[in-house]
Structure 1
Amino acid sequence: MPTDPRLTKANPARAAMVGVSDFDGVLRGKHVLGEDLSDGDKVIKFSEAVLAWDCSDRVIPASFTQKPLSAFGDADLRILSGTGRSVSLGDQHLYLAEFTGSHENICPRGILRRVLRRAAEHGYDCTAGFEFEFMLFKENADTIEEKPFGEWAPLTRGPFGYSIARSVAQHELFDEILALCEKARIPLNGLHFETGPGVVEASLRHCDALEAADRATIFKSMIKAWAQTRGMMATFMAKVSEEWPGQSGHIHISMSSDSQNAFYDSDAFGNVSKLMRRFIAGQLEYMNEFCVLAAPNFNSYKRLVPGCWAPICPSWGVDNRSCAIRAIPGEPSAHRLEYRLPGADLNPYLALASAIGSGILGVETGPALPASIVGDASAEMCRPSARLPQSLSEATSRFAESAAASDVFGERFVEAFSCSRRWEWEAVQHRVTDFERRRYFEII
C-alpha cells in the first residue's frame, strides 16, 4: 500500500498525536491524521471516558459526565495549535488539548486557567518552573511483572547525589535527555543524579505558568516513553521504597505586575515583599484543605514523613529546604518561592492550580503569616495538630468539605476530583501486601 503523502516528514502536523491530561496527569490521546493541526485551534470529538477512568482504566462509579455509567459518549476537545512539538528523537509530534464546553470545568488544564484568570483580575502574571526527580530501572514492562521488586535493577546502586563520576559514566543517557528536551522545546536549567539508586533530577526552566504546566506534563510522558526505547523503565512515584528517599516535584513560582517582580522588596527581610508574605500566608492557610491536589495518590503520603527532605507540616522559611514553602532570595529576576509539598507523582496542572490558588486567596483575605522557621521544620512543628494530612483519605475529606476549594476550583470539580480520590483510596487500602503477610502470618 503506498504511503499517504500527508504522513511525510515534511508535514509532521498532519500525522500528529493529540494528548489531554486526565485527573492523574496522564496524557491520554490518539493520532489525528490528515489535518494540519498547526493551523488554528480545532475542536474534535474525543471520548469523555478518560475523565471517569482511574489509572488502570477502571470506571470510577461516579457521574463525572452527568450520564449513566454505561453511556459514555464524545466530548469536545480543543486542540491547542501553539503547543505542537516533537516528543522523540525522531519525528513524532504531539499537540496538547483541553476539554471544552460542558467538560471544561472538570478539565485539569481548564482548572489551572481558571486560577490564573483570578490572579490576572488582581493584575498579576504568574511564572513557574517544575523540578522532577525520577528513578530509572534497567527493566522492562515484562520483567517488572515477572520479578519481585527486590530483584529489580536500578540504573545505579547506592545514593551519591550530584555525582560527577556517574554523570560522566552515563553521559550518553544524559546527552539524549538534553537533546530530547531541546527538540521538544522544554529547556532545562539543570540535570544531575540525586540521592538514591538510579535517581535523576531535571529542573525545567521557568516560564509563563500555563506553559510551565504544559511542559511538565509532556516531560513526564516523554521521559517514560524514552526510557522504554532504551530498555529501561522510568517512574515518577512519590515513594518507590521505604528504604530510599522519596521523589519530589517541587514548583518554583513568582508573580509580576507591570513586568516587575511583585514578590521582591530589596528592603524587606529575605527580600520578601508584602505581597509575597500574603501569598505565602494563603498557601499555608489552605495547604491542608488543598493538599490532595499536590499529593493525589495513596503512595504520595509515604513521602511526607520526617527525614525524607519532604515537608510534614505547613511551614515556611527563607532558603530552608525543610519547610513546605522555601522563599529563595535573590535579584529581582530570580527572587521566587519554592512550593515543596508535591511529589513527582503530581498532576502539573492541578498542583500548580493549588499552589497559586491558595496564594491568591491569601492576597484577597490577608491571613496572618506565621513566623518563618529557622532550623529543621520537622523538629519545630512536630505537634500532631500541626501536621499535614496523613493519608489520601484524610486529604480528600478536607478538600471535599472545603468552602475555599469550591470557591477557587468550582463545586463540580471539587465533587468530581474528590470522588476520584476516594475511589483511589479504596482501590489500594483493602489490598493485603507481602509485608503484612511476613509481619503477621506466623506470629499473630
Structure 2
Amino acid sequence: MQSLADTSRATAEDFVLIGYVDLDGVVRGKYATAEKFAAWQKKGGAFCSVVLGWDSRDALYDNGHTGWATGYHDDPIRIVPGEGRMMPGEGRRFHLMEYADGPGAAVCPRRLAGRVVEKAAEMGFAAKAGFEYEFYVFRETPTTALAKGYRNLTPFSPTTGGYSILRTAVEDEFFSGMMALARDLGTPLEAIHPEAGEGAMEFAFTPADAMEAADRAVIYKTFSKAWGQRNGLTLCYMAKPINGLPGCGGHTHLSLWKDGRSAFHDPAAEHGLSETARHYIGGQRKYMAELLALYAPTINAFTRLAPGFWAPTGATWGLDNRTCSLRVIGDSEKSLRVEVRPPAADANPYLVLAAALASGLAGICEKIDPGPPFKGNGYDADLPEALRFPDSLAEAAARLRRSDMAREWFGDAFVEHFARSREAEVAAQRATVSDWELHRYFEMI
C-alpha cells in the first residue's frame, strides 16, 4: 500500500488554511485555494453557521442564532488582516477569520473581544496582555488514550519536577521543539519550564497588544497539540486532567496604557498603584463571580477551583499573592500589571480577555474601590456572597445570564447564546453515568 508520504502533494502556494475560533476555543476551518482566499481577503466570504451551534464534540444545542429552523445558514465572514502564520511542515500559511458585521458577529468570540478593546480605546486606553498556560504532557496518542479509557496514561515524566533543570536537560528535544514552534508561528514564548506534577509543564507568551496576545494564545495552543501528536505525544490543556494534582491555569496578565505611559503606575501612590489601577482592580473583583463562566467554561474547570491547588475560590486581590484571584505584580512602569488567575487553560482566550478587560473598564467607569489588598492565605478570606465563586457550571451560567454588567458590555445576544451553550454542556454531563458513580454505587447501594 502506498503511504501518504509517497503521494503527490499540493505546494505551499496552492492552498491556505483558514480557521474560526468557536465558543469553546476550538479552531475550526478548512483549506481554501489561493484564489478563493484572495477573494475572501478582498470582499469577504461566508461560512456555515453550524460552528455557532456546535459544542466541542460537534453535538448541536438549541440556541437563538442558528438551527434546523434556519437551515444552518451561512453567515458572512472576513479574514483577519495581516500576513497570517507560517504553519510547521509544508510551509503553508494559516489565517484567522471572524464573523463579519451581522448577527454572527454578536456571538463571535473574537469580535466580542475586539469590541471591548475598541471600548478601551474610546476611553483613551491601549490594553496589553500576556497569556500563560499550564498543561500536561502524556506519552500517548489520542487513540491509545481512548483505548485506555483515559486511565493509567503514561505521563511525560515519571515523577514530579517543578522547575527541574534535570527535566529540561534530559528532554531537550521537547523543549527545543516547543520553542522552535513558537518562533516559527510568530507566537514568541517568554519562558517555558516543567511544573509540579508528573508531566506538568508551563509556558508564558511575550506580552503584546491585547488582540495580538489572544491570537497568539489560540494559534499556539492549537498547533502545539498538533506538533505533539506528530511526535507521539498528547498535550492536554484540560482544567484538571488528573485527580490529586493541581489543575491547569490559563493565567492572564493585563495592563492599560495611555499616551505611551502606564495608566496603572503612580510612584507617589500607595503600592505604586494609580487611581485608575485601583478602580480597574475594583471592577474586576466586583464582577468576577458574575463572569466566571467565561473563565471556567467546562464542567471539569470547577474541579480545579479548590483550596490548596493554586486556583482561587473567590474574588480577592493581593500584592504578589498567588492565593488571590487578582495578583498585582511588577515594581516599575513597564512591569506593573494585574494577573487574573481564575481562568483555566481550557478557556477561550478571547472570552477571557473580554471578561477581564471589560470588568476592569467598568470599574474605571464606576470608580469602584477594590478595598485593601488581602494578606496571607486567600482561601481563608471571609467574602460576601457576591464575591464567592459559583460552585458549578450550571450556577455560573445562571449568574452570567442575570448579570446586568455582562449584558451592557457584551450584549443580550452573546449572553443568552453563551449561557445556553453552557447549559447544554451541563445537560450532556447530567445524562452521563460517570466512573465515580459506578465505583460508588454499583455494588453497595
Q: TM-score range by the shorter chain?
A: over 0.9
TM-score (norm 1): 0.95
**Partner residue of 1:307?**
308
* SS of alignment partner, residue 415 of structure 2: helix
SS of structure 2 residue aligned to 1:288: coil
Pairing 1:6-405 to 2, within 5 Å after superposition: 7-9=10-12, 11=13, 14-35=14-35, 37=37, 40=41, 42-65=43-66, 68-69=68-69, 71-82=71-82, 84-102=84-102, 103-381=104-382, 386-405=387-406
Whether contact under 8 Å (2:256, 2:263) holds in the other structure is yes
Query: Tell me, what secondary structure is at the counterpart of 1:189?
Result: strand
**How many residue pairs align between the two structures?**
437
- The unaligned stretches of length 5 or more in structure 2 are 1-6
Q: Which runs of 4+ in 1 moved over 6 A?
A: 382-385
Contact 1:89/1:179, CA 8 A, preserved across alignment: no
For 2:385 and 2:443, how far apart are their aligned partners in 1? 33
The offset of 1:360, in angstroms, is: 0.5
Shift of 1:377: 0.3
8 Å Cα contact 1:89/1:180 also seen in 2:
no
Partner SS, residue 201 of structure 2: strand
1:370 match: secondary structure: coil
Mapped to 1, the partners of 2:83 and 2:372 lie a distance apart of 41
Change (3 A) 1:3 1:139: closer
What are the superposed Cα offsets for residues 32-86 of structure 1, whole Å, 9 maximum, x if unpaired?
1132857955512211100000011011122323x64461121111012415111
Q: 1:111 to 1:383 in 2, by over 3 A?
A: closer
Write the distance in 1 (CA, Å) between the matches of 2:83 and 2:399. 35
> Are 1:83 and 1:96, in contact at CA under 8 Å, matched by a contact in 2?
no
Q: What is the TM-score with the length of structure 2 in the denominator?
A: 0.94
* Partner SS for 2:291: helix
Root-mean-square deviation (CA, aligned residues, Å) is: 1.8
- Taking a change above 3 Å as real, the CA distance of residues 151 and 248 of structure 1, as seen in their structure-2 partners, is same
Greater CA deviation, 429-438 or 125-134?
A: 429-438
The answer on whether the counterparts of 2:239 and 2:300 sit within 8 Å (CA) in structure 1 is yes
Inter-partner Cα distance in structure 1 for 2:90 and 2:166: 29
How far is the alpha carbon of 1:430 from its aligned partner? 3.0
Does the CA contact (< 8 Å) of 2:278 and 2:369 recur in 1? no
Deviations 1:298-357 (A, max 9, x none): 111110010100010000001111100000032211111101010100100001100000
Instruction: Look up the SS of the partner of 1:82 in the other structure.
Output: coil
> 1:72-124 CA distances to partner (integer Å, 9 max, x unpaired)?
12111101241511132441321001011321111000000111111111100
**Aligned-partner SS, 2:47:** strand
- The Cα of 1:242 is off from its aligned counterpart by 2.1
Distance 2:245 2:266 in 1: 39
CA distance, structure 2, for counterparts of residue 53 and residue 43 of structure 1: 23
Counterpart-to-counterpart distance in 2, 1:318 and 1:115: 26
Contact 1:328 1:337 in 2 (8 A): yes
Stretch deviating more after TM superposition (225-234 or 429-438)? 429-438
Q: Secondary structure at the match of 1:307?
A: coil
Counterparts of 2:62 and 2:85 in 1: how far apart (Å)?
36
- Residue pair 1:98, 1:107 contacting (<8 A) in 2 also: yes
In 1, Cα distance between equivalents of 2:73 and 2:8: 32
Q: Is the 8 A contact 1:25 1:347 kept in 2?
A: yes
Contact map agreement 1:89 1:183 (CA 8 A) in 2: no
Amino acid at match of 1:302: T
How far apart in 1 are the matches of 2:201 and 2:409? 34
What secondary structure, in the 3-state scheme, does the structure 1 residue paired with 2:142 have? coil
Deviations 1:188-213 (A, max 9, x none): 11010011111111101110101111
**Structure 2 vs 1, CA of residues 384 and 290 (structure 1 numbering), >3 Å: closer, same or farther?**
closer
* Residues 313, 381 of structure 1: 8 Å contact kept: no
Label 1:156 to 1:382 Cα distance change in 2 as closer, same or farther (>3 A): farther
What SS does the aligned partner of 2:235 have?
strand
Which string of whole-angstrom CA distances, capped at 9 and with x for unpartnered residues, describes residues 222-254 of structure 1?
A: 111111100111110001122111000000101
| DSSP 3-state at the match of 1:253 | strand
Distance 1:245 1:427, change over 3 A: same
Q: 2-side partners of 1:41 and 1:391: how far apart?
A: 45
Cα deviation, residue 383, structure 1: 7.3
